[in-house]
Amino acid sequence: MPTIKILPHPEYCPDGATLQAPAGTSICEALLDHGVAIEHACDQVCACTTCHVIVREGFASLSEMEENEEDMLDRAWGLEPNSRLSCQAILAGVDVTVEIPKYSINHAKENH
């Protein structure tokens, strides 16, 4: 069972986390199943960019990116070469390390 290492994120995962999920599970599903409340405004159907993650390790092991994901990622805030929509990135048998960007299109909050 692959391990997902989540780098610290100030809101979703302040201390970072390490979790396991079966191969065939999307990164988004795995995070949600383990209490990491990553945004997923479109209900994981590849219609938004709120579940955008940057895969720091294990990128090549994930499912191949389809054209609709590529098109949607063009709209993501903070896009990097190893960006994926976590709802579309399916785990194989390899461990991955992901970073949840500080902001998404829906997640720009004012400072209080």
pTM of the model: 0.90
**How many other CB atoms are there within 10 angstroms of residue 48's CB atom?**
21
The DSSP bridge partners found for residue 4 are 19, 96
Q: Which residues of 22-34 are buried (b: 16+ CB within 10 A; e: fewer)?
A: eeebbbbbbbbee
Give domain 3-99's CATH architecture.
Answer: Roll (3.10)
Segment (H or E) for 39:
none
Strands (E), the chain: 3-6, 17-20, 52-57, 83-85, 96-99
Is the model's pLDDT at 111 over the cut of 90? no
pLDDT single digits (tens) 15-52: 999 999 999 999 999 999 999 999 999 999 999 999 99
